[in-house]
Amino acid sequence: MGVAVSIQQVTKTFGNLKALDGVCLEIAEGEFFGLLGPNGAGKTTLISCLAGLVRPDTGRLKVMDFDVQGDYREARRLLGIVPQELVFDPFFTVRETLRIQSGYFGIRQNDDWIDEILDNLDLTAKADTNMRRLSGGMKRRVLVAQALVHKPPVIVLDEPTAGVDVELRQGLWQFVRRLNNEGHTVILTTHYLEEAETLCARVAMLKLGCVVALDSTRNLLDRYSGHTLSLRLANGDDLPLSIRQQASLIGGYLNFHLASYDEVEPLLAAVRQSGGVIQDIRMSEADLEDVFIDVMRGRDGARERAGS
Amino acid sequence: MSGFRTLLYKEVLRFWKVSFQTVAAPVLTALLYLLIFAHVLESRVEINGLRYTAFLVPGLVMMSVLQNAFANSSSSLIQAKVTGSIIFVLLPPISYVEFYLAYVVAAVLRGLMVGLGVLVVTGWFASLEFAAPGWIVVFAMIGGGIMGSLGMIAGIWADKFDQLAAFQNFLIMPLTMLSGVFYSIHSLPAFWQDVSHFNPVFYMIDGFRYGFFGVSDVSPVVSLGVTSVSFLVVGLATLALLRKGYKLRY
Ligand SMILES: Nc1ncnc2c1ncn2[C@@H]1O[C@H](COP(=O)(O)OP(=O)(O)OP(=O)(O)O)[C@@H](O)[C@H]1O
Ligand SMILES: [Mg+2]
């Protein structure tokens, strides 16, 4: 598999604000990649650099080996960008918008594919409606459709599900997943972390313009937050302090934070030994939100815990 | 080159869809000018041996061409910038030269369309000649090209609509109004005649008018030279801005 997107040492300053501070990323062809980070982290700026909308101060960006400045024609042909802002051209209908967008990419007869996109995004009924008359969520769908008219091998979605209803969200993911299965590389930013967790095989987390975490979603979940073992005891108060101190008490459950499954058995043994009677037991996985919060706090406690 | 074709098509479709405001309205404005000025001056003024109405009509036509060419590219760009839809033309593989050509050709087309409309409506009130039609077309195209380019510069530079309005009111309007649309500069005091010779719009109007009557304040060849050089300068300036991505790509 080749490299779909390569970002090397990209820096961008707005005034005296460092929006991107030496970002390096490499995304392989066919990946479903998540770009996460709090508001203002630099996600959109990074995507804009890739799209050629923002020119980085230093560093290089390539799409499938084509430099986004030097070989901008090839690079842009390979990219489909769904922008974060809800923008539209009020002069045209949905179909006109999509035909025009196809033309910009040099595609003359694109109606079959346009119909397919419209169908998948549940826009067929609105095909001949003026953009102005669409609801916010529908405008967002048109933005997705516009990004796909030229069947770009690399699809970048900047918060595509903001303001979109549940049904379309499901439909959109199904469609994007299908495209990913057919070989399209997908890069996604979202603030819905469960979405990222289920969809993205690998994620990068950005904070103040720096990549602060970059790994497969699986590894991040394992390494950063481990698992939580929740116990309800008939006689919780009787437990020795040494054990109780390890746990936090939430809703009658003692929650133990464990780095790995290996720690389960010793803990249960210790509880039993001290006479604890277990009424209920639950094991829960950390989710990406836990990881995210850990990473963004900047303390590497989770990592240390995982390593020890 | 297909990016250019589509962008041109989009730009034409954009003004055509609202042609009531973009074509019909300026034709009406020009007609009102004609009716008022002709009513007041027709019996009193004769210029270069022409009746005032006949003198005025080509001036009004050219002024409409120029103002509408400017309006087209400037309003299209500022609207796209303010609404953010400019990204739809920045994301595709369209070169800055194609970008320039598409906007300028669309601006010229709108200018010509309005100009033709004004000619048809106002020409009815005057006995026009077409002494050298080639010059008419050439000056209309060059003038539209210059103003279309200036419109691009203004639309790219302005961040808000009122900045664009300032550009239009303090630069474009004085240049066109004081260019000899309504009078021959020979009727001006010597000082203002000299000043007028520094206004490129004067040469556009004067050359354009030559195409109708075969008489002009300066030779049409001189006007062609001045307007061509102006076009070159403004065009290259616009291309340089686009190439740099000034206020379009940060
Ligand atoms: N054109 C600009 N001019 C000045 N500052 C900018 C510009 N674009 C972005 N910034 C700043 O750069 C920083 C990164 O912004 P960016 O839009 O990339 O964040 P983001 O990660 O996409 O955030 P969000 O999740 O809110 O979309 C922010 O502090 C923002 O204010
Ligand atoms: Mg953003």
> Which residue in A85, A104, A108 is closest to B3 by CB distance?
A104
B171: distance to nearest CA of chain A, Å?
29
Closest residue in B to A131 (Cα) is B85
List of E strands, B82-129: none
pLDDT beyond 70 at B245: yes
Query: Could you tell me the pLDDT band of residue B215, with boundaries at 50, 70 and 90?
Result: confident
pLDDT values of chain A reduced to their tens digit, one per residue, 308 residues: 688 899 999 999 999 899 999 999 999 999 999 999 889 899 999 999 999 999 999 999 999 999 999 999 999 999 999 999 899 998 899 999 999 999 999 998 899 999 999 998 889 999 999 999 998 888 988 999 999 999 999 999 999 887 778 888 888 888 899 999 999 999 999 888 888 888 999 999 898 898 888 888 777 777 665 678 888 887 766 677 777 777 777 777 888 877 777 888 888 888 888 777 888 888 877 677 777 777 777 644 434 333 33
Q: Which of A21-25, A218-222, B16-20, B90-94 has the lowest mean pLDDT?
A: A218-222
Is A101 close to B92, i.e. CB distance below 8 A?
Answer: yes
Report domain extents, chain A.
Answer: 3-221, 226-285
pLDDT beyond 70 at B183: yes
Element (H, E) at B50: strand B50-51
Q: Bigger pLDDT: A236 or B137? A: B137
Is A104 close to B17, i.e. CB distance below 8 A?
Answer: no
Chain segment B27-70, per-residue pLDDT in tens = 999 999 888 888 777 777 777 777 788 888 899 999 999 999 99
Question: CA angle, B111 as apex, B247 and B80 as ends, to 5°?
Answer: 30
- Protein residue closest via CA to atom 7 of ligand 1: A14
Average pLDDT over residues B10-34: 91
Is B87 close to A87, i.e. CB distance below 8 A?
Answer: yes
Report the atom number in ligand 1 closest to the C-alpha of A43: 21
Residues A213, A295 contacting (CB under 8 angstroms) = yes
Could you report the predicted ipTM of this complex, rounded to two decimals?
Answer: 0.86
Q: Compute the distance between CA of residue B111 and CA of residue B120 in angstroms, rounded to an integer.
A: 14
Report the atom number in ligand 1 closest to the C-alpha of A45: 18
Q: What is the predicted pLDDT for the residue at A304?
A: 38
pTM for this entry? 0.85
CA of B198 to the centre of ligand 2 (A): 49
- Protein residue closest via CA to atom 18 of ligand 1: A42
Q: What is the predicted pLDDT for the residue at A237?
A: 63
CA of A163 to the centre of ligand 1 (A): 20
Instruction: Return the CATH fold of A226-285.
Output: Alpha-Beta Plaits (3.30.70)
Ligand 1 contact, A209 CB (< 6 A): no
Percent of chain B with pLDDT over 90: 63
Q: Which ligand is nearest to the CA of A158?
A: 2
Closest residue in B to A80 (Cα) is B91
Provide DSSP, A85-140.
S----TTSBHHHHHHHHHHHTT-S--HHHHHHHHHHTT-GGGTTSBGGGS-HHHHH
CA of A189 to the centre of ligand 2 (A): 8
Q: What is the predicted pLDDT for the residue at A177?
A: 92
Q: Which residues of A touch B11 (CB under 8 A)?
A: none
Class of A3-221 per CATH?
Answer: alpha beta
Alpha carbon of B48 to those of B39, B55, B56: distances in Å? 19, 8, 12
pLDDT beyond 90 at B225: yes
B20 and A CB contact within 8 Å: no
What does the mean pLDDT of chain B come to? 90
The 3-state secondary structure of A220-274, one letter per residue? HHHHHHCEEEEEEECCHHHCCHHHHCCEEEECCEEEEEECCHHHHHHHHHHHHHC
User: Which of A92, A87, A97, A90 has the alpha carbon at shortest distance from A117?
Assistant: A97
- Protein residue closest via CA to atom 6 of ligand 1: A14
Average pLDDT over residues B17-36: 89
Q: Which ligand is nearest to the CA of A206?
A: 1
Ligand 1 contact, A35 CB (< 6 A): no
Phi/psi at B164 (5° precision): -65, -40
Is B250 close to A105, i.e. CB distance below 8 A?
Answer: no
Q: Compute the distance between CA of residue A267 and CA of residue A83 in angstroms, rounded to an integer.
A: 49
User: Which of A57, A52, A5 has the alpha carbon at shortest distance from A209?
Assistant: A57
Average pLDDT over residues B132-148: 95
Average pLDDT over residues B160-168: 91
